[in-house]
Structures are given as C-alpha cells and as structure tokens.
Amino acid sequence: MVRRISKILLLFLLMFGVIVSVAAQDSKANLDSANAAYSRGDIESSIVLYEAIIEEGYVAAQLFYNLGNAYYKVNEVASAILNFERAKKMDPVDEDIDYNLRLAKLRTVDKIESIPTFFINDITKDLSNKYSVDVWALIAGGSLWLSAILFAVYMISQTTALRKLFFWTSLLILVGGLVGIAMAHKKYDSVFQQREGIVFSPSIVVQSAPGDNGNDLFVLHEGTKVLVNEEIGDWSKIKLSDGSIGWLPASTIKII
C-alpha cells in the first residue's frame, strides 16, 4: 500500500514538473517574441505580448522594465511609470531602471516636493534599497550563524589573545546580523506592506472625504505616485510625498 502511494506521488511530481517546464518554455518563447517585436519597432504588439506573459503569472524585473520602455515609446507615461516602479521593487539597485523611471517622471504634470526627513531615515532607506528582502535575509542569517560559530570558538579557546579576537569579532558580526534583520524588515515593509499606486486619470480632483459630497482639495494628473492608506467602498484614501491627504476613486489608481 505504501509503495503504491509512493508511486502515485512520484508520478504526480513528475507530471507537475513537466507542466511547470512546459509553462516556463512557453513564457520564454512569448518573451522572446515580445522582445523581437520591440526590436523591430512593433511596439504595440510587444506590449500585448508582455502583458500576456504577466497575465500568465510570470513576473521579473526585466519583464516590467521592458514593458515600461514599450509604454514610454508610445507615450503612455502612467503605464511606463507603473511598470518601472514594479521593476524597481524587484531590483532596487538597477541603474537603468532608476534612470528610465526618472526620465518618465519628467513627463508628468505634477511636481510634488517631498517633506524633508531626518537624515538617519534617509540613510536607512538608502541602505535598505541596496538589496532585495531575500538578500538582506541571507546577509542577516549568514551573519548570525557565523557569529554563533565564532562565539563557540571563543568559548573553547585557551589563550587570552584568541579569546579576545573571537569574542570581539563575533560581537561585530552579530551587530551586522542585527542590522541585516532591521534592513530586511524595512525593505519588506516598503515592498509588501506599503500599498503604493500610480494615478491613471488624465486629471482628477482629490476629495476631502469618500463619495461625491466631499470638498475639492487639489487636482492630480496621470503618472503621479501615491500611497494608498485606506479603502472604503470604491474610494481610496491617498497620501502624497508632501504630506497632502485626500480621497480618490479606487478605479483611478493602479497598485504598483
């Protein structure tokens, strides 16, 4: 009975592996077709193909970057910014993504000045953006393990010089591991907890309250990045980098 169940499980795993392999090959073929369409100047076709790949569940920084470039070529700035932002979330240190994102933002109407922040916040933000969540987690885990090993060596060392060396080295690496944990947590919050979006309406009035009975506060235009703090029905409470707060119809925002 056990052998029969094992055979069934093995067969299931083999079938699953074949399905995944075929799906991966199809996605790669579609990606090659999309890239080829983009290279020969058929931008509209490349957009359709890139979007189809994403609909299939395949996501990658390079894919979003290519799609952002395609949208930029056809002057769909909001869609370009959306995909550059998605690419940046997956690969925060890629200079090409950052450059093209800044280039696309130059073509937006709203020029919003960010509120000055405490310099330590800027340092930790820049540091956390150096790597992805996974890389920071690996740095933290590796540092903690190495620190534990060095501390164990310190405990069994016989000479005073070696004990001092291994103790302070393990302590220093432990601090590095704790910094890695803090950066991984900060990066996780920025990627998965904060819901940011891009305005897709050519021009939209931000309201003081959800619904049509709120007062008009200010106007936003497509391509502007907002932080989505809350949702009530069909309305989203948004916050801008300058601290301004208001409500927009959820349909006018696409989440990054």
* CATH number of residue 73's parent domain: 1.25.40.10
Residue 201, classified by CB atoms within 10 Å of its CB into exposed (0-12), middle (13-18) or buried (19+), is middle
Residue 110 falls inside a structural domain: no
| Domain shared by 149 and 199, yes or no | no
C-alpha to C-alpha distances, 128 to 123, 135, 139, 144, 169, nearest whole angstrom? 9, 10, 12, 18, 24
pLDDT of residue 133: 86
**DSSP assignment, residue 173?**
H
| Domain shared by 21 and 93, yes or no | yes
| Domain shared by 171 and 223, yes or no | no
pLDDT of residue 113: 83
| Domain shared by 153 and 177, yes or no | yes
| Domain shared by 57 and 70, yes or no | yes
| Domain shared by 88 and 18, yes or no | yes
| Domain shared by 99 and 22, yes or no | yes
Cα gap 76→238, rounded to integer Å: 23
- Looking at 79, 105, 131, the residue that finishes a domain is 105
Residue at token pair 């894919």: 63
- Looking at 105, 132, 152, the residue that finishes a domain is 105
pLDDT of residue 239: 95
Whether the Cβ atoms of residue 174 and residue 144 lie closer than 8 Å to each other: yes
CA-atom Rg of the chain in angstroms = 24
| Domain shared by 132 and 227, yes or no | no
pLDDT of residue 192: 72
Residue 82 falls inside a structural domain: yes
* Pairing outcome for strands 245-249 and 235-239: antiparallel
Residue 112 falls inside a structural domain: no
**What is the domain extent for residue 154?**
119-193
E-only strand ranges, 8-114 = none
Residue 173 falls inside a structural domain: yes
Closest Cα partner for 63 from 84, 81, 79, 45? Answer: 84
pLDDT of residue 246: 96
| Domain shared by 183 and 217, yes or no | no
pLDDT tens string, the chain, 256 residues long: the values are 445 544 443 544 444 343 434 444 556 677 899 999 999 999 999 999 999 999 988 889 999 999 999 999 999 999 999 999 999 988 888 999 999 999 999 999 998 887 777 778 878 888 887 888 888 999 999 999 999 999 999 999 889 998 999 999 999 999 999 999 999 988 888 777 778 999 999 999 999 999 878 899 999 999 999 999 999 999 999 999 999 999 999 999 999 9
Q: What is the pTM of this model?
A: 0.70
Domain count along the chain: 3
